[in-house]
Structure 1
C-alpha cells in the first residue's frame, strides 16, 4: 500500500526517524506468544513489581499456564468470554494471558463503571465468568449480578496474593474494612489461588487465524448512550505491537531490551495501557512497576527512586506532576520516553514539562477501535506544537468533509480523520448498523475526530465532531478555546463545552481548576485575558471554577458529565 495519505499528496515517511520503516514486517501470531518469547529469552528478568514484591518473566509464564489450566477446568475455550474487573495488579496480567492461552476471549471492565453499565456489558458481551478482587470497591458490584444476569461464576483474588506475606496483607485489609466477605460456595465463587492451584500442565491454544480470532472485547468510553464493544483480534493486537516496536527502533533505538523500567499507572483495562504499558513492555522485557491508581506524590517518588525510563501517561497526569511542589527538585534524568495520548496535549503543559525535565512529551493519537495506535511524534526528531505526529507504520489516513462525507478534502484542510491499517478493529460487537456507519465504502474507519495534515505529514487534531460548538453559524472547536485558557497563569486544568444560547444557538462555557495557591479569576478577567487569543465567535460566555473536573477511567478530562449537567439546568 502507498505510504501517502489517501489523497496521495503528502509523503510522510520523510518525517520518520532514520531507520524506522513504514513497511516494517508484521510478524502476526497469537497475543500470548509475546509473553512466551520474552519468558524464554529473559526468564530471570523481573516482569512485575507490585507492592514490594517481584515476579520474574519465568515465574509469570508459569503462573499463566496454571491460570490457563484453571480456566480450562471451568470450560474456557474458543467462544467463551471471560471478564476482568481489576485494577493494576498481578492478577490482571496473569488472568489476561491465562484466558488467551486457554483459548478464550478477554472482556475488560472498568472499576469506575456505573452499575447499569456493568450489567449492560455482562449481557452484551456474553460474559459468564469474571475475575475480580475482594475489595469492597469491586466485589459487591459484581456479586449483585450473580443470579440477576448471565454471570455465573466469580474468581476472586486478594491484593496480597502475590506479596511475600499474603495472609498478613489479607488480614490487614480486612481489619481496615477494605475487603468484603466472600461466600464459601463452589457454585458461584472460586478464589484466584484455587484457580492457579495446579501443575500448569496445559496445551496452549493454537490460534487458527489471528486475523479472524477475537482476543479482546474492548468497550468504548462513548460520549452518549451505552458503550459499544470493539472487536480486537489477535492480529490487531500483535500488529499494534509491531508498529510500536518499530517506532522505538531505527538507527537510534529508544530502548534496551531487558533494560527498561516502565511506570505502569495507566489502568491496564484501558486499550492505551494494555497496548503501550503491558504488551509493549513485555515485548521489550521491561520491568513493569505497577501502581493501582495515579497519585502525584507516589508517582513522582517512583519516577525518581526507581529510575523509571518509560512513562506513558495522559495530560492530566503530567499536569498533576507539574503542579506538585516536589517536581522542580526531582531527579528525572533516567527518563528516556514520556508518551501521552488519550486526550489532546495542551501546548503550554508540554513546554513546561520539557523545561523542567529535559524530556519531550511525545504525543500520539489512537483509539480503542485502532488498538491505541494511529500516529506518533518521533522521540528523536521534529516536535510540532499541537501535533500528534505522523502516521505509524502500515497506516494510511484520509480526511473527509464533515458536512459532505462523500468528499475528500485536500492537504491542510480540516476534515474528519479516517484510518486504514492492520490495527483497526474487526468491527463493533453485535452492532451491524454501527459498523456500516463507521466505515467508508473503501474500508477506512471514520474516527469522529476533526483534523488536518501539514506538508510534512504531521497531523493536528482539532476536536471531536460531536464536541464541536455551533455558535451563530460558526464551527467553534473546544480545543482552540482550551489551549488559550491554559495560557492563563492561574489555570491548572480546563475543558470547554457548548451551552444553550438564545441568540447564537450555543455559546462556549469553560470549566477550570486552579493551580495551588492561585487567586480565583472572574469571567470578565478571563475574557479580557482571552481577547486577542480567540476570535469573537470563540469568546467564552461563561466560566465555572471547580475543585476538580470529571475524568474518564484512564484519567483524561471528560465533557459528558458537564454536558449533562448543563442540559438539566436549561430544561424548561
Structure 2
C-alpha cells in the first residue's frame, strides 16, 4: 500500500527521513545542548542530563573494568528508578547489549531468559522481592555478577535517611561479595577508569526485548541502535505542540516495556525533554506527580486511565498542563475513552505497536482529525500491507481485512538465536521484507488502520502479554489436571483477564477455586487467572487437538 499518497494528519510529512544514531550519541547530543536541563524527576529529587550522562559513562567504564566487552549482554531487572537510565545508556556506551527483564518475573522465568540471552551481569535494586529473585538466579545460573543499586540513595537526602531508619523492612539485606557489588562502589571504580569507550555503530545490536511473538515461547527481539533511535524520532515527529524540550512526560509506564523504552525514555532523550517518573503505577501518586511537575504528556495503557477515573482525587487535581494522553499496549474501550475525556478535558488517543517494531507503529493524531476505534495512521517512513489471512504469500483481496504486515526502519533484525522463528514472521513482497503482526486489520481511504481480529493467541492484560501455553503448562503439572486451555475474557479494567478451562484425570477430585489458588502461586502476577472452570470435556479439532478458537467462540459469544 502506498502510504505516501494517502492524507497525512501528523505534523511531520510521511516521507521524512531520520538519522540512524547510536543511543549513546543521541544522549550525548542532548546533554551538550542543555547539560543542566532536568531529565528525571523522581520522588522529590531531580537529575540533570549532565549528571546522568556522567554516571552512565562511569557505569560503562566499570563494565569494561569488569571484563564486559562489546556485544556482551547486560541485564536490567529494575522498576522505574534512576539507576535504570544510567545502566541502560551506560551499558550501551560500553558497546554491550541491554536485556530488559520484567520485575514481575519469577525465579524460573528470569533464570530461563538469563540463560537464553547469555546475560553476564545483572543490575537490580535493593527491594527485597527483586533482590531475592536476582540473588537466587545468580547462585543457580551462569550469571557472573549482580550489581545492586540502593533505592534510598536515589531519593532526596531526608527521604533516603527516613527510609534507612524507618523503612528497613523495605530494604533488602544485601550480602556483598566478589560477585554481588554495590552500585555506589561500582560507579566509583568506573570513575577511575581510563579506557577509551568504543565508538558504537548505529546498526549494531542495542537491545534484546523478550516477547512471545507468534507463539507462546518467549524470544528475544533483536533491536539495533538505529531501530530504537529512529523510532524515538518517529514518535517525536507526532508532537504538534512546539518546542519539545519543554515537554514533561509522566513516566508511569515501566521502562523495561518496549512501549516505555521508546515513547518515554528514548523519546525524551532525543528531544531534550524531562520525565516525571514514579517507581510503579499508583493512581494517587500519578495525579500528584502530574500536578506537581506540570506534566504535558502521558503515555499509558488503558488500565491506567481507568484507575485515574476511579480515583476520588481526580476531580480535585489540576490537569491543565496535560496536552494529550496516548493509550497503547491493549485495545482502548470506547466508553473508557469518552469518560476519561469528559472527566479531564484531555484528549486520549489510541496507538499501536509491537516489541518487534521497537514500540511504535501508529497513532491517532494528537490534534485535528482522528477516528475513534482505529489505531490511527502509521508513523513516518512506515509502510503497510494487508496479507491474506490464510496464505501470507499473497495479498488480501481488495477491500477485505487482512493480516497487517509492516516495513520500516524500526523493524527488528530477527529473534536472538532463533532464525527459525524469524522465518515465521518475515515475508517477502514487492522486493521488501515485511513483518507479519498476527493482527487482522482494515485500512480506510485516509490510511487509518483498525484492528478487527487477531491471529495470535496472546492475551493482553493491562498492557502485558500473557502466553496461554505457558500458563497451561503450569496447570498440567497439577496431578489432577488432564487437559487445559487458557483464554482471555474481556475485562473493563485490564482489557482482558486470563481464564482457565480444564478437565480432570479419572478419580481425581478438586475444585476450581483450589486449582486457581494452586496455579496463581506458581505464575507471574500478570499471568494469574481470574477463574478455573472444570468441565467434562474441552473442544477439539477433527484430529483431536484442543481447539482454543472454538472454546473462545463458545465462551465469549
TM-score bracket, normalised by the shorter chain, equals: 0.7 to 0.9
Any gaps of 5 or more consecutive residues in structure 2? 469-484, 495-515, 540-557
- Supply the distance in 1 between the matched residues of 2:301 and 2:359 (Cα, whole angstroms): 13
Give the number of the structure whose residues are more often helix, by fraction. 2
The alignment yields a C-alpha RMSD, in angstroms, of 3.0
Q: Which residue of structure 2 aligns with residue 363 of structure 1?
A: 350
Output aligned runs, 1:48-447, within 5 Å: 48-165=40-157, 168-169=161-162, 171-172=164-165, 175=168, 177-186=169-178, 188-197=179-188, 198-199=191-192, 203-208=196-201, 210-211=202-203, 213-221=204-212, 225-248=216-239, 253-410=240-397, 412-442=399-429, 443-447=433-437
In 2 relative to 1, CA 568–93 (structure 1 residues): closer, same or farther, beyond 3 Å?
Answer: farther
1:455 equivalent in alignment to 2:445:
yes
In 2 relative to 1, CA 40–127 (structure 1 residues): closer, same or farther, beyond 3 Å?
Answer: same
How much does 1:415 deviate? 1.3
**Matched residue SS, 2:264:** helix
Note if contact 1:218-1:232 (Cα within 8 Å) is conserved in structure 2: yes
How much does 1:199 deviate? 4.5
Query: Structure 1 stretch 400-409 or stretch 418-427: which is displaced more?
Result: 400-409
Note if contact 2:389-2:396 (Cα within 8 Å) is conserved in structure 1: no
After superposition, what is the alpha-carbon deviation per residue over 1:431-467, rounded to whole angstroms, capped at 9, x for unaligned? 1111111111231111111111111100001232134
Q: Which residue of structure 2 aligns with residue 16 of structure 1?
A: 9
Note if contact 2:255-2:265 (Cα within 8 Å) is conserved in structure 1: yes
What is the TM-score of this pair, normalised by structure 2?
0.81
Q: Which residue of structure 1 aligns with residue 30 of structure 2?
A: 38
After superposition, what is the alpha-carbon deviation per residue over 1:61-88, rounded to whole angstroms, capped at 9, x for unaligned? 1111111111111112212100000000
Note if contact 1:64-1:95 (Cα within 8 Å) is conserved in structure 2: yes
**Matched residue SS, 2:428:** coil
Note if contact 2:402-2:441 (Cα within 8 Å) is conserved in structure 1: yes
Count the aligned residue pairs. 486
How much does 1:331 deviate? 2.2
- Supply the distance in 1 between the matched residues of 2:38 and 2:362 (Cα, whole angstroms): 30
- Supply the distance in 2 between the matched residues of 1:65 and 1:40 (Cα, whole angstroms): 14
How much does 1:401 deviate? 1.8
Note if contact 1:62-1:200 (Cα within 8 Å) is conserved in structure 2: no
How much does 1:417 deviate? 0.7
**Matched residue SS, 1:449:** strand
- Supply the distance in 1 between the matched residues of 2:217 and 2:530 (Cα, whole angstroms): 16
- Supply the distance in 1 between the matched residues of 2:336 and 2:175 (Cα, whole angstroms): 49
Any gaps of 5 or more consecutive residues in structure 1? 469-477, 483-494, 498-505, 516-545
- Supply the distance in 2 between the matched residues of 1:199 and 1:569 (Cα, whole angstroms): 67
**Matched residue SS, 2:346:** coil
In 2 relative to 1, CA 201–335 (structure 1 residues): closer, same or farther, beyond 3 Å?
Answer: farther
What is the TM-score of this pair, normalised by structure 1?
0.79
Note if contact 2:27-2:270 (Cα within 8 Å) is conserved in structure 1: yes
Q: Which residue of structure 2 aligns with residue 518 of structure 1?
A: none
- Supply the distance in 1 between the matched residues of 2:154 and 2:165 (Cα, whole angstroms): 15
Note if contact 2:388-2:397 (Cα within 8 Å) is conserved in structure 1: no
